[in-house]
């Protein structure tokens, strides 16, 4: 018996793919989202389907509000009801503050914060219809510490905003059976850089470790857990 439908944005590869496959193993029907990586998305979808759940792959540019809203609605329709939304999309720019362009600023805010707001806004009424559900938004370890990071300023602002948005949803929707939480990875095996000296655990995290944190928040055991940030970082940024 299915546990309901789950949409994971940015799930053609990497952390998103790991989350999709982990959800499928737990019995969730899954929607794989991609923007341009259709072949990778189809491979992820096929892997999930092999686990015996209903699957679909959906293309959308989530920085387009209409497209992001339609993505959530399509996943709800094709999976027979949405119970889980995981926001994994988000571009990353490492640029000195005085060299950061308007285009980079706009892109990082749009992909990380605005897209998350749009998909959550579209999902909440559908989760209410389904009798409740789970929202898990991805962030990065240390975002809630409000530490100045001049070369990451757009990304830090966007991800801190994601935390505040998530907490607001958690408070507003608790009475409707909807939880909203954040998983905050540190340096992961799929990260662009691997500064191992900065990680107390001495190694990067695995994508399946991030997926396991997401699974906790969508599990029955986490029904009373909302508005929380779970770092998967091996002590990085503490």
Among all residues, which ones are annotated catalytic? Answer: 155
Closest CA to 20 of 204, 182, 158, 211: 211
Q: What's the token pair of residue 67? A: 């497209």
Helices 207-218 and 14-25 meet at what angle, rounded to 10? Answer: 50
Q: What is the DSSP-derived secondary structure letter of residue 206?
A: P
In whole angstroms, give the CA distance from residue 233 to residue 204: 8
List of E strands, the chain:
5-8, 29-34, 55-59, 82-87, 133-138, 178-185, 229-232
95 to each of 107, 142, 159, 187, 199, how far by Cα in Å?
13, 18, 16, 18, 22
């Amino acid at each position: 018996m299915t546990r309901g439908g789950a949409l994971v944005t940015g799930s053609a590869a990497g952390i998103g793919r790991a989350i999709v496959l982990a959800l499928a193993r737990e019995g969730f029907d899954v929607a794989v989202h991609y923007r341009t990586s259709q072949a990778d998305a189809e491979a992820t979808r096929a892997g999930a389907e092999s686990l015996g759940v209903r699957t679909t792959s959906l293309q959308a540019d989530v920085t387009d509000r209409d497209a992001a809203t339609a993505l959530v609605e399509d996943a709800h329709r094709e999976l027979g009801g949405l119970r889980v939304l995981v926001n994994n999309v988000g571009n990353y720019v490492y640029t000195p503050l005085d060299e950061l362009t308007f285009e980079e600023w706009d892109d990082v805010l749009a992909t990380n914060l605005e897209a998350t707001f749009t998909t959550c806004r579209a999902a909440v009424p559908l989760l209410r219809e389904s009798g409740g559900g789970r929202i898990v938004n991805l962030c990065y370890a240390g975002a809630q510490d409000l530490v100045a990071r001049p070369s990451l300023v757009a990304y830090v602002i966007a991800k801190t905003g994601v935390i505040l948005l998530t907490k607001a949803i958690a408070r507003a929707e608790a009475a409707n059976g909807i939880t909203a939480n954040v998983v905050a990875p540190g340096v992961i095996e799929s990260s662009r850089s691997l500064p191992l000296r900065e990680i107390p655990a001495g190694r990067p995290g695995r994508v399946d470790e991030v997926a396991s944190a997401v699974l906790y928040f969508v599990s029955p055991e986490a029904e009373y857990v909302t508005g929380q940030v779970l770092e998967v970082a091996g002590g990085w940024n503490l």
